[in-house]
Structure 1
Amino acid sequence: MAERRMSRVLIRETRNVRRMPHGRTVLTIVLTTFLSGCAVGPDFKTPEAPHATSFLPNHDKDLPRGDTVQGRKLLSGQSLPPEWWELFGSPALDRLVREGLAHNPDLLSAEASVRAAQANAMAQRGALFPVIDASFDGSRQRPPGFLSDGETGESTRISPYNVTTRQVSVSFVPDIWGGSRRLIEAADAETEVQIFQREGVYLTLASNIALAAIEEARLRGQIAATHRIIDLQLQFLRILRRQNEEGQIALPDVVVQESAVAQARLTLPPLQKQLAQQRNLLARLTGRTPADLEAAAFVLKSFRLPRSLPISLPGELVRQRPDVRTAEATLRGANAQIGAALAARLPQVTLSGNVGKTRSNMPDLSPGGAFWLLAGNVGQKVFDAGTLYFHQRAAEETTAKAISDYRSTVLTAFQNVADVLRALQSDAASVQAATAAEQTARRNIELIRRQVEQGQISVPTLIVAQEAYLQASLALIDARASNLADTVALFQALGGGWWNRKDS
């Protein structure tokens, strides 16, 4: 509702102006401008933050109460550290993120865009000052014909002569209506857009490197777990073959176990392909080719799950999320364009002048002469088929769109944080359940192994137990990796702590 009220405030003034008779409009704006010294058009006001005290509801009986995560302390109101990835306790990850921030071309491109926007904003300020041009013209010529001496009657050819002109010209368009100042405001807003987009690239890059490292650790864990299961299956296969040779079991029972080993081995190539591609992704994120990547191999044990998580207050989220700040700067720039479009519809004043001197060495011409000129012009569009009017309408509707986009971005930001908190709550339960399942499956396999050695169990039961153990092991690895990945997602959803960085 706050954003909708702001939308009405931003465009109310210009819509009222549009409905006034033309003469009254000009007179009113002239008096307002000269008395207040303000630019025409609505002044930008920062939208109010949502009035929220918590990211999660406390009234849902089917969900945990408040912003809580089982086994992990949430530090509400505590600001995020700018190097949040260091909370995972992995020196290899720290080095990789630093390399990415130093060499990633996407981040370097975003920084260049910031510098370009800053230069454009400075160039726009030139509209507030006079434009001074200096020129020098020189020529040497010999006209055709002769000069006659009145006394002697003799004729002589005209000698070549020089003509030089030096002059300085000044032109100035006073910013009476504030149109230039509105364009400067729009250029400054575009600079802010590029700055916060750069922060978004910075945050996304650090998050993607951390997530890629965690994914690599997950894949390595799955490959290691699969190898363990295959080794265990091979042990069972040797036992079954020996029992078959001794006549205790039939050959089909051995073939069933051989098939189980083959099926387990079949899952390895896709995992190994994903691992290789993950390493290639890490190389690209750090600005290197796959052949040049020297990052250490990541395993889940190389990460420490933070036991406490700093959580910003809900009201601070709109000032900390780069995408929200980008939407706010876009809204500010669109709002400034309304004033610029309105100023373009009003009378334009232009002042100009020049001063100079002409000199010639031709006898019949003046040897030198100074000149100057002062001029002023007031122009007003009388008919343009509604071009300037519709430019203003377009600026107003662009601002209305920017308001809606800003509100949508804010709602998405709160949704992201709430989703990640719910995911972390689920992760804690998933890790606990997966750990219990893996321990049960492992104990079951140990019991079955002793029974198989004694010939007291059927092969189908053995196959089911092996598959259950493999699935439980993979599920535990996935749960631990998801817990780490969702922690990264929480830091990203909260803005990444860029405001605490020294160079921000």
Structure 2
Amino acid sequence: MKSSSLLRPGRRLAYGVALSAVFAVAGCAMAPTTVRPVAPVAAAYPSQADQAAAPAAVAAADLGWRDVFRDPVLQQLIATSLDANRDLRVAALNVEAARAQYRIRRADSLPRIDGVAAGVSQRTPADLSPTGQSEVTRAYEAGGAVTAWELDLWGRVRSLNDQALATWLALDETRTAAQLSLVSEVATAYFTLRTDQALLELARDTAEAQRRSHELTQLLAEVGEAGELDVRRTEIALRSAEADQAVYERQAAQDLNALTLLIGQPLDADLARTLQAWAGEPLPDDVVEANLPAGLPSDLLDRRPDIRAAEQMLRGADANIGAARAAFFPTITLTGSAGSASSDLDNLFSAGTRSWSFAPRLSLPIFNGGALSANLDLAKVRQRIEVARYERAVQAGFREVADGLAARDALERQILSEQQRVDASRRAYDLAQRRHQEGEDSSLSVLDAQRTLYGSEQALLRARLARLSNLTTLYKALGGGWTEQTQTGGRT
């Protein structure tokens, strides 16, 4: 009768299943469960302190950039940049590299099986041969081999696999964040170019008006109806306008260069002609969607790709802790081979030539000078760093949205005031000209009125640019720009 210590096949199977379950539980317990940190921000934005955020049919993050930016030229520029911008291309390639790295890491959890074929010929001289005669021996082998496959009993390989996956997903979110930034930068560069072109046209018109005023004053001075001081004052105003014209010419050229770099290729001829034809025309106020629903700060956790990337990096840090903990436990690796072996190549696959080898190896850390403990401490510190980075990303997102909301209403009021100031300055200039022509006032009053009107028109153009730039930044801060068309079902 067999010893009772030997398990029957059914019992061995049950024992093996139970043992595998214990190992699986142990492996899963090595890495801590990732818990999203509590957002260190207020429950509502300052602009929503006295009122609840109205629910929106579509979140700002799901609004397509074609629906937010209504200028057809800008839409064409954004589409071109998404295809040709080199920074975005590098971000996409980094995602592909991380995906390949994840596939490499995932392969470590599977046994590596190689096909092996080898032949060895060896001659033993007579003085070393036990028979006293020289001998020639040959051995041939063919089959498959498993090379050092680690049994992942404690989840070390699985944790490293999870860390590689988290890195891949984090870089994918970073690529999305790069796209959001690119859409915003292209729009801002386009608005800046159009504004500087309008400022250049304004400076040209002002310089031309100052030139006519200066020439008229010179003629009046020749006949004694104006003094030298009047001539110098009109010349100062003329030179100032000419200097502004040179400044805006430079800025417009640099704006075009910046826009070209962002879109990743030179402007095509039709687009360049369109921009040239529109030079000097101010942008309409409705070129950007102004009614962007802000939602609540908690929405940013799922809408902003930079926050999602920080969360993935936190998951990767937790996985590293699991790998560091598993390093304290024994490592079991299996190496083996199976195939055919023979001293005669012709009989390599004949009956009776089957061969196999099986070499399990158990490695138990005993003394390593505290390296394993230090590695675990390092993993825990890096996990706390990722927690801080995640919280910092949430705070930065909250601040960007809060700034955008605060500036949105303030800039609307500023533009209204600037427009009213331009209207008042124009009326004052017309009145000063009429009084001067009637001899009731000096040319100095006309120059002052003209200088005030010029400054007011410049301020209005800059305020409109600030409003468009703020709406663009707010759209990006809310997570918008990842899709071309509006997604009514949300981000998938």
TM-score between both structures, scaled by the size of structure 1: 0.82
Contact 2:404 2:473 in 1 (8 A): yes
Please say if 1:56 is aligned against 2:56.
Answer: no
> 1:255-281: CA deviations, max 9, x gaps?
321221112111111211111011011
Of all paired residues, the percent bearing the same amino acid is 27
> 1:91-114: CA deviations, max 9, x gaps?
000000000001111111111111
Please say if 1:438 is aligned against 2:422.
Answer: yes
Match for residue 45 of structure 1 among 17, 24, 35: 35
Moved more, 342-351 or 331-340: 342-351
What residue is the counterpart of 2:91 in the other structure? 110
Q: Give the match's secondary structure for 1:219.
A: helix
What residue is the counterpart of 1:23 in the other structure? none
- State the Cα distance separating 1:203 from its structure 2 match: 0.5
- Residues 88 and 168 (structure 1 numbering): CA distance in 2 closer, same or farther, change over 3 Å? closer
Q: Give the match's secondary structure for 2:186.
A: helix
> Aligned partners of 2:382 and 2:35: how far apart in 1?
16
Please say if 1:164 is aligned against 2:140.
Answer: yes
Contact 2:26 2:154 in 1 (8 A): no
Mapping of residues 64-463 of structure 1, within 5 Å: 76=56, 78-80=58-60, 81-140=62-121, 162-170=138-146, 171-289=148-266, 294-295=271-272, 296-297=274-275, 299-301=281-283, 304-361=287-344, 369-463=353-447
> 1:183-204: CA deviations, max 9, x gaps?
1111110011111110011001
> Aligned partners of 1:96 and 1:334: how far apart in 2?
39
- State the Cα distance separating 1:158 from its structure 2 match: 7.7
RMSD value, Cα:
3.2
- State the Cα distance separating 1:288 from its structure 2 match: 1.4
> Aligned partners of 1:256 and 1:116: how far apart in 2?
66
What residue is the counterpart of 1:6 in the other structure? none
The letter of the residue matching 1:471 is: G
- State the Cα distance separating 1:453 from its structure 2 match: 2.1
> 1:4-50: CA deviations, max 9, x gaps?
xxxxxxxxxxxxxxxxxxxxxxxxx9996455662413121233456
> Aligned partners of 1:463 and 1:108: how far apart in 2?
53
> Aligned partners of 2:22 and 2:341: how far apart in 1?
46
Moved more, 393-402 or 125-134: 125-134
The letter of the residue matching 1:44 is: T
- State the Cα distance separating 1:87 from its structure 2 match: 2.5
Contact 1:203 1:495 in 2 (8 A): yes
> Aligned partners of 1:87 and 1:128: how far apart in 2?
47
Contact 2:99 2:168 in 1 (8 A): yes
> Aligned partners of 1:350 and 1:406: how far apart in 2?
38
- Residues 284 and 293 (structure 1 numbering): CA distance in 2 closer, same or farther, change over 3 Å? farther
> Aligned partners of 1:43 and 1:293: how far apart in 2?
56
- State the Cα distance separating 1:117 from its structure 2 match: 1.1
Contact 1:211 1:485 in 2 (8 A): yes
- Residues 166 and 140 (structure 1 numbering): CA distance in 2 closer, same or farther, change over 3 Å? same
Q: Give the match's secondary structure for 1:136.
A: strand
Contact 1:33 1:40 in 2 (8 A): no
Q: Give the match's secondary structure for 1:311.
A: coil
> Aligned partners of 1:94 and 1:280: how far apart in 2?
18
Q: Give the match's secondary structure for 2:76.
A: helix
> Aligned partners of 1:461 and 1:469: how far apart in 2?
12
> 1:463-492: CA deviations, max 9, x gaps?
322221111010000011111111101101
Report how many aligned residue pairs link the two structures. 454
Contact 1:56 1:67 in 2 (8 A): no
- Residues 110 and 319 (structure 1 numbering): CA distance in 2 closer, same or farther, change over 3 Å? same
Q: Give the match's secondary structure for 2:30.
A: coil
Q: Give the match's secondary structure for 2:283.
A: helix
Contact 2:177 2:306 in 1 (8 A): yes
- Residues 482 and 243 (structure 1 numbering): CA distance in 2 closer, same or farther, change over 3 Å? same
- Residues 241 and 251 (structure 1 numbering): CA distance in 2 closer, same or farther, change over 3 Å? same
Q: Give the match's secondary structure for 1:324.
A: helix
The letter of the residue matching 1:413 is: G
- State the Cα distance separating 1:424 from its structure 2 match: 1.1
> 1:45-100: CA deviations, max 9, x gaps?
233456855322556xxxxx6599xxxxx875631244325433200000000000
> Aligned partners of 2:25 and 2:287: how far apart in 1?
64
Contact 1:77 1:313 in 2 (8 A): no
> Aligned partners of 1:96 and 1:131: how far apart in 2?
49
Moved more, 449-458 or 412-421: 449-458
Contact 1:352 1:374 in 2 (8 A): yes
The letter of the residue matching 1:315 is: S
> Aligned partners of 2:327 and 2:204: how far apart in 1?
73
Q: Which runs of 5+ in 2 are unaligned?
A: 1-18, 128-132
- Residues 415 and 51 (structure 1 numbering): CA distance in 2 closer, same or farther, change over 3 Å? closer
> Aligned partners of 2:125 and 2:362: how far apart in 1?
45
Contact 1:117 1:190 in 2 (8 A): yes
- Residues 318 and 300 (structure 1 numbering): CA distance in 2 closer, same or farther, change over 3 Å? farther
> Aligned partners of 2:48 and 2:394: how far apart in 1?
21
> Aligned partners of 2:324 and 2:269: how far apart in 1?
53
Contact 2:26 2:153 in 1 (8 A): no
> Aligned partners of 1:436 and 1:195: how far apart in 2?
48
- State the Cα distance separating 1:176 from its structure 2 match: 0.5
- State the Cα distance separating 1:305 from its structure 2 match: 4.1
> 1:428-479: CA deviations, max 9, x gaps?
1110111111111111111111222233322332332222111101000001
The letter of the residue matching 1:262 is: R
Q: Give the match's secondary structure for 1:128.
A: coil
